[in-house]
Amino acid sequence: LFCCANIFVYWDVDTLNSTDGKFGSSRVLSSLENRPMMYTFYEPIFPEEERKTGMSHKQDMEMLVAWREAWESAGWDTKVLSMNDAKLHPHYKDLLTKLKNAMEGKSQDQSEILCFMRWMAVTAAGGGWMSDYDVFPLTLTAEQGLLLPNNGQFTTFDGIIPSLLSGSAIEWDRMAHQVIDAVDLMTDHINDMTALSLISRERPEVAFVQQRKVLREVAYSSINKVDCFKTEEMVA
């Protein structure tokens, strides 16, 4: 790891997951005996020229540190999942083959393939909560996180954008198969957001709960003034 501007930056996910680092003190902020787990997914893409995120690996790791600190300060435990976790899915090889066959001849890059891997990773981890690593808690408390919404039925909190998700392990596995099956219907923009959009429109029998509770823009009404109305019913 290296230190820049008093922020410790971990160069790999395993180190980030296994080190309390500057966040050891945040664990006492919650009085809960059992803390809910928030997962995210990250797999570095090298060489850097092939990255499509607009961020370098160093910047991604800085964001992961900030993500971890925010959720742990709000009373959650955190874990960054990677391809090593996706490979633990019992149907990993079959689903990867299906995905690659469906994507054959279509425009694709590493980031598009990786966005499908996170579904298998969360399933293998036992399901629960997952957020993108640029999603931070607003009103979603650790107490609320101990009980999965909608009796564990798969739930999106940002419409068809898979930025904050929850569901039981069975529901995550069901949706992992569905999003990969949906690739057959795509011609471009091959990613899991397009998959959720297609499932929502073309396969209504594959039900999942959609909510709109993630803030998509900076909630300022003017310079240095937060617009509380915009954050009123948002969980993250």
| Model confidence pLDDT, tens digit, residues 19-66 | 554 443 344 344 456 899 999 999 987 766 666 667 888 888 999 999
- pLDDT tens readout for residues 91-139: 999 999 998 888 887 666 778 889 999 999 999 999 999 999 999 999 9
Read off the pLDDT band of 206 (50, 70, 90).
confident
DSSP letters, the chain, are -EEETTEEE-SSHHHHHH--GGGGGGGGS---SSPPEEEEE----SSGGG--SSS-HHHHHHHHHHHHHHHHHTT-EEEEE-HHHHTTSTTHHHHHHHHHHHHTTS---HHHHHHHHHHHHHHHHT-EEEE-TT---SS--HHHHTS-GGGG--EESBTTSTTEEEE-HHHHHHHHHHHHHGGGG-SSS-SHHHHHHHHHHH-TTS--EE-B-S--S--EEETTEE-HHHHTT---
Give me the percent of the chain exceeding a pLDDT of 70: 81
198 token code pair: 């297609």
- pTM, two decimals, is 0.86
143 token code pair: 């107490």
Number of Cβ within 10 Å of residue 143's Cβ equals: 12
Pairwise pLDDT comparison (139 vs 206), residue with the higher score: 139
Owner of token pair 């600190």 = 69
Nearest alpha-carbon partner for 80 in 66, 101, 92: 66
pLDDT value at position 111?
80
Full strand arrangement of the beta sheet holding 209-210: 77-81, 37-41, 128-131, 164-167, 155-156, 209-210
Pairwise pLDDT comparison (57 vs 11), residue with the higher score: 57
pLDDT value at position 193?
93
Owner of token pair 């955190």 = 78
Q: How far apart are CA 119 and CA 132, in angstroms?
A: 12
pLDDT value at position 50?
61
191 token code pair: 């990613």
